[in-house]
Structures are given as C-alpha cells and as structure tokens.
C-alpha cells in the first residue's frame, strides 16, 4: 500500500533528486552510497528500489530519454559512472527489476556530474570529473563506447548539453538517408580553473574540441553550468560560482565563437556560495540555488535586464 514517507530512507546527506521524463519516478542519491527510486503518485512517494554498487558518495543521477528505455545514470566520488536499467516484469503480479548494465572506470578521481544528450543526437552521456577530464559514453550497435579528453586543468565540476537543433529559432532537422541526425554535438563545461568552456564534436579528429572559453568569466570555481534547452531567438548559457555570482551569456549563432557575449552578472545573493543553475523547459526562466538554502527565479524583461521574479526559502 502506498504511503506518504516523511523521510527519504537515506542514511546520509542527499546530493541530487531528479524526476523522470513523465514525472512518475523520483531518483535520489546520497553520501550513504545508494540510489533510491520512488514511484510518485500525487503527493505520495512509494520506495520502489534501492540501487547499490558505488563505493563512495553518489553526487548525481540522471534519467535517459524514454526512447532508450528506462535508464538511469549515476556518478560518484569513487570515480565510477554506473548505468542502471529497469526491465519490465514478465508476470503481472511481479514487479519490474533493476540491474546495473554498465560501469565506466575511465576516471581517476571523483565524477561530479553526468548529463544525457538530447535524444536525437543518440544515446550519449557526458561525465565531468575532478581528474580534469570529460568522458562521453555512447551506446551504439549494442555496446558502450567512449571518448575521453582533458577539459579543465584543476577538475571539471559540471557539464550541460546544447539543444540539438542548430541555430536559435530553428527546428531540429530530421535524420538524413544515412540515419545520422542533423544536430550538432555541443556542450558546456565548468571547472575549478574558474573557466566556462564550450566544446563541439570534431568528426575528423574523433573527439570533442574546445570552441571557446566564454569571455568575462568567474574569479573562483565554477560549480554548475546550464545551457538553455529551447531554441529561442537567442541561446543562453548560465553558470554558478564559488565567487557568489551567476553569469549569463547569450548568442544568436552558437557556432560562431565571436557571437558569444556576457549578458549579465547576477550578484544579489548575499554571502551565499552558488551551487546550481537550472533553466525552465521553456528556456526563459533561470532557477538559482546556493548554500543559504534559497532558490530564486530570474527572468529577462523586455529591456533585456534580468530580474528576480520569485524567491523560495526552506
């Protein structure tokens, strides 16, 4: 019988909590080295599964698009990335089962974040590590492959994919006769070298190459980055930093290095170190959270000025 749970069931601090594509499942992860999956029904949560296997704190969980099945990726202080899959039950009376289908051991230090690419680019998972490298795992031809490259000298804290459709205002192109999608594989990373960098897939070199380091950047560690998910008239990248500021860059043509400009620096956060930035699905509202437990929502007005439209406190 479903019941409201007053606590998470974790034995230590929770680091991430993410709803799946349909909003019916909640995955949480913790310093207790476990991941818990809850079924969500209105305001009720029912624990469905506890996933084990990591040997350190689990920092991040991320659901793949449902076109690839029910896949959940996790990253941990143990330097590993795990991918779990739910298999439907064969009998109506028995529950579905979860199993670990892949473990990446490419990194030599904590993996701080994992992020799935837009689904029309393929089954791609970017992983940001304190060893300074980014790896991109790809499931093709029934097996997992990878690309790994040096990204930030002092460690990578965050990664976020660009929307796949190309130019802002454009509709994503359909796959060509060769089955390849028309979208561009591109993402942004934030590092402990205070830099925010944009990367793009180079098919000739079979790796991701740095397009640019965004101008007028931070003066301390970059804790999070977020590329706006919707192709509006402009595309936006936001970053949150240990320097207690959020920066927002814009471009009307993301493939043109010279088109990226710093639009604004938000500093109205008191003494809070800023941990996370996240765009709404519509791509025009930015949520910012920090060490003070507050979440603020920011929106650009008609004059191009970003203003706080709401603040949520615990």
Report pLDDT digits (tens) over 128-142: 999 999 999 999 999
pTM value is: 0.91
| In a shared domain, residues 65 and 104 | yes
Instruction: Assess whether 37 and 136 both reside in one domain.
Output: yes
**145 in any annotated domain:** yes
Burial of 67 (0-12, 13-18, 19+ CB in 10 A): exposed
> What does the pLDDT read at residue 168?
66
Interatomic CA distance for residues 182 and 4, integer angstroms: 45
Same domain assignment for residues 47 and 85: yes
Higher pLDDT, residue 314 or 285: 285
If asked whether residues 234 and 282 sit together in one domain, one would say: yes
Report the pLDDT averaged over residues 240-264: 95
- Pair 203, 69 in one domain: no
Count the Cβ atoms, other than its own, within 10 Å of residue 311.
Answer: 11
SS3 content of the chain, % helix, strand, coil (to 5): 5, 50, 45
38 in a structural domain:
yes
Number of domains in the chain: 2
Residues in the chain: 314
Q: Per the domain annotation, does 152 fall within a domain?
A: yes
Do 228 and 96 reside in the same domain of the chain? no
Q: Do both 146 and 216 map to the same domain?
A: no
184 falls within a domain: no
List the single range of 44-48, 101-105, 112-116 with lowest mean pLDDT: 44-48
Residue among 179, 181, 197 nearest 189 (CA): 197
Half-sphere exposure of 224 toward its Cβ, with a 13 Å CA cutoff?
21
CATH code, domain carrying 229: 2.130.10.10
Q: Are residues 124 and 211 in the same domain?
A: no
Whether residue 153 is found in the same domain as residue 20: yes
User: What is the tens place of the pLDDT at every residue in 57-110?
Assistant: 999 999 999 999 999 999 999 999 999 999 988 888 888 899 999 999 999 999
Are residue 263 and residue 295 in the same domain, yes or no?
Answer: yes
| pLDDT tens track for 262-275 | 999 999 998 999 99
User: According to the model, what pLDDT value does residue 232 have?
Assistant: 78
3 within domain boundaries: yes
Q: Range of 243's domain? A: 164-174+193-314
Mark whether 90 and 123 lie in a shared domain. Answer: yes
**Residue 213 covered by a domain:** yes
């Amino acid at each position: 019988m479903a019941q409201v749970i007053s606590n998470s069931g974790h034995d230590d601090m929770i680091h991430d909590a993410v709803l799946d594509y349909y909003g019916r499942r909640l995955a949480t992860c913790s310093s207790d080295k476990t991941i818990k999956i809850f079924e969500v029904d209105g305001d009720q949560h029912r624990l469905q599964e506890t996933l084990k296997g990591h040997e350190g704190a689990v920092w991040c969980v991320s659901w793949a698009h449902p076109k690839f099945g029910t896949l959940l990726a996790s990253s941990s202080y143990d330097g590993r990335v795990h991918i779990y899959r739910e298999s439907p039950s064969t009998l109506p009376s028995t529950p579905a089962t979860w199993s670990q289908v892949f473990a990446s051991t490419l990194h030599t230090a904590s993996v701080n974040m994992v992020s799935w690419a837009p689904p029309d680019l393929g089954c791609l998972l970017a992983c940001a590590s304190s060893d300074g490298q980014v790896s991109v795992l790809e499931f093709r031809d029934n097996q997992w492959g990878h690309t790994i490259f040096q990204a930030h000298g002092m460690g990578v804290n965050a990664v976020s994919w660009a929307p796949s459709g190309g130019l802002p205002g454009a509709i994503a192109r359909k796959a060509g006769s060769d089955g390849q999608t028309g979208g561009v594989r591109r993402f942004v990373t934030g590092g402990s070298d205070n830099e925010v960098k944009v990367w793009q897939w180079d098919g000739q070199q079979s790796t991701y190459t740095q397009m640019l380091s965004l101008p007028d950047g931070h003066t301390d560690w970059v804790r999070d980055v977020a590329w706006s998910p919707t192709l509006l008239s402009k595309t936006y990248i936001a970053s949150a930093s240990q320097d207690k500021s959020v920066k927002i860059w814009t471009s009307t043509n993301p493939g043109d290095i010279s088109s990226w400009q710093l639009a604004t620096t938000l500093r109205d956060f008191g003494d809070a170190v800023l941990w996370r930035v996240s765009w709404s699905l519509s791509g025009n509202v930015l949520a910012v959270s920090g060490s003070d437990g507050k979440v603020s929502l920011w929106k650009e007005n008609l004059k191009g000025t970003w203003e706080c439209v709401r603040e949520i406190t615990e």
